[in-house]
Structure formats: structure tokens, C-alpha cells
Structure 1
């Protein structure tokens, strides 16, 4: 949205750009059940889950899930 200068009216005209830009977005982490069945992944998940995090329980859970996702992406 862009404001234009007032020329002949009491209103401030605006321009709305409706063109969608291609922004790279990341997809949310999705846990695959196959990972829990693979012994090497199970070890990786257990190690990633061991990190010590302080803060609210929901924050701890979020960081542990993020840590596990990063480990599984490798």
C-alpha cells in the first residue's frame, strides 16, 4: 500500500499492489513415523531430546522439537 499526494480532493489516494511476490517460505516440521522405527533415527531423536532447556514447559517442548527436527534433517 502506498499513499499518494493529495491534489484536488479532500481524500488521500492510495495505491494497493495486488501482485503476489514469490517469497520463499519454510514448511513446518512434520515428524515421520518411519523415523521412530529406524534404530539410527531413534538414537538421534533420543540424543536431540536430551538437551537441557530452561523456561516454560511449552517453550522447552518447542526447543526440543526444533532440536530434533534439525538433527533429523542432517
Structure 2
């Protein structure tokens, strides 16, 4: 695994932990939810922009992404 891949995985882990803390649920539930909604792919695809944001802004981006996905469904 390259350093870049490790950084991206660490970022996804950070996002899962932050979302878990905000929502008050388990990490596994967040991972399952993120997988169903495509959030993990979104985070990896937009890593370069998102990783420079603060935790609050990242959570807002995740929530906006989820809302958009639900509206499209």
C-alpha cells in the first residue's frame, strides 16, 4: 500500500469516527451506511479537496452528499 493510499484510508477512518461521534452509533453501522450510500467512494474520490477542511465542514459535506443521494433515489 502506498503512502497516498494509507493517507486516504486514514482520512476515511477519521470521517467514520467523526460521523459516529455526531450520530451516536457504532462504527460498523456508519461503515455499513457509508457503503450503502456511496460515501466512502465519494470521500476517496474527493480526498484532495476534503482532507484540507475541518471536521465540521467535512461532516457538512458528507451530509449534503447523503441528502443529494436520497433526493436522486
TM-score between both structures, scaled by the size of structure 2: 0.32
TM-score between both structures, scaled by the size of structure 1: 0.32
Higher relative contact order (CA 8 A, sep 6+): 2
Bigger strand fraction: 1
Bigger helix fraction: 2
Q: Highest Rg: 1 or 2?
A: 1
